[in-house]
Structure 1
Amino acid sequence: MSVAVETGLWQLDPTQSTVAVRHKTMWGMVTVNGTFTSVTGEGEVDADGTARGTLTLDAASLDTKHAKRDKHLRSADFFDVDRHPDITFAVRSAVPGAGDTVDVSGQLTVRGISRPQSFTARVTGSEAGAVTLTAELTVDRAEFGMGWNQLGMMRGLATVTATLRFTRATA
């Protein structure tokens, strides 16, 4: 990674961060887009430049701009927010890669089901006391117990995109 990030504790800036999801439905003819409006996180950068941390999404905060669909997504057919209010990604390892990349691996937990997840993020902004990462990854919702698929309308993987801005944590 060509950007040096200071060691220590970092805090996600939720006002400058977004996590969105898109998925094809209606037999691939319609793309549903949604954004999680409540995101928190923190991390720690070690002296060797590696990092670890946690990102937490309030599952009930998913907003697709369609109230009836959002209610269904919060139900037991999908996120089951009454029993599993949070979606978490525990970063076990974030290792600087070539250029502005970071190789990220960790554990994604949705509906109480955890699965390993790895992807490459990019450092898209760096200034004194702040760093911004962007990433795109695919998730198989069936691996997390979200198999609802009336008439085979929902196929394929969901795509998650994230822009995450971290600032130095104050003591």
Structure 2
Amino acid sequence: MSTTSQAAAIAQYEIDPAHSGAQFKVRHMMIANVRGEFSKVSGKVAFDPANPAASSIDVAIDASSLSTREPQRDEHLKSADFLDVAKYPSITFVSKKIVPDGKDAYQVSGDLTIHGVTREVKLLVDAVTPEAKDPWGGARRGATASTTISRKDFGLTWNMALEAGGVLVGEDIHITIEVELVRKG
């Protein structure tokens, strides 16, 4: 296959921000989870299901779109104690390697940047749907990606000791990104 026909086989998509988002959960006071979301997710995906290694993912999350449904906590999470959105307005992920992991699932390794710190992480991307026509004649597909990171690996070290023992904020952050992709061209 020529380089031109290989490039043609890779479908180009943009993330539909109106139908996509990133959620997280983290342990709170060692007794329950706090859940939050980022409502502004954008990016591009080049996808070839016949040759996943030729695919790529580039995602940007607007860090200021964070909401835990508690305004005071949201402001603290956006402050210099945590995300410091004034200095680091975006959270990004850029894939480096994509390999199949069962039917309609992939292991995606790439660089995640949070709070100005970049670390390689592995995402499990599953629930990759077949392409479907939308009511406007376009083509769409969906996918869900998940991973768990240590917030300390990204310089998010603020915490508070509790009188009863333990800490206010857990170390592990469970992340889920759900996207709807719109085919371009």
- TM normalised by structure 1 equals 0.89
Deviations along 1:143-163, whole A, 9 cap, x unmatched? 111100111222230100111
Provide the residue aligned with 2:159 in structure 1.
149
Query: For the residues of structure 2 that align with 1:161 and 1:68, how far apart are their CA atoms?
Result: 23
Establish whether residue 132 from structure 1 lines up as the match of residue 142 from structure 2. Answer: yes
Name the amino acid aligned to 1:160: I
% identical aligned pairs: 32
Deviations along 1:18-67, whole A, 9 cap, x unmatched? 210111111x1131111101110102235723311211001111000001
Deviations along 1:114-151, whole A, 9 cap, x unmatched? 00001221134222322211122101110111100111
Name the amino acid aligned to 1:66: E
1:124–1:134 Cα contact (<8 Å) kept = yes
Name the amino acid aligned to 2:160: Q
Name the amino acid aligned to 1:135: A
Deviation at 1:8, TM superposition (A): 2.9
Provide the residue aligned with 1:3 in structure 2.
none
Aligned length: 164
Provide the residue aligned with 2:4 in structure 1.
none
Equivalent residue in structure 1 for 2:35, among 33, 36, 40 = 33
Name the SS of the counterpart of 1:125 in structure 2. coil
1:140–1:157 Cα contact (<8 Å) kept = yes
For structure 2, list consecutive stretches of 5 or more residues without a partner in the other structure.
1-8, 133-138, 162-166
CA RMSD of aligned residues (A): 1.6
Provide the residue aligned with 1:85 in structure 2.
89
Query: For the residues of structure 2 that align with 1:49 and 1:24, how far apart are their CA atoms?
Result: 35
Equivalent residue in structure 1 for 2:57, among 29, 53, 58 = 53
Q: Which runs of 4+ in 1 moved over 3 A?
A: none
- TM normalised by structure 2 equals 0.82
Deviations along 1:78-103, whole A, 9 cap, x unmatched? 00011100000111222333212111
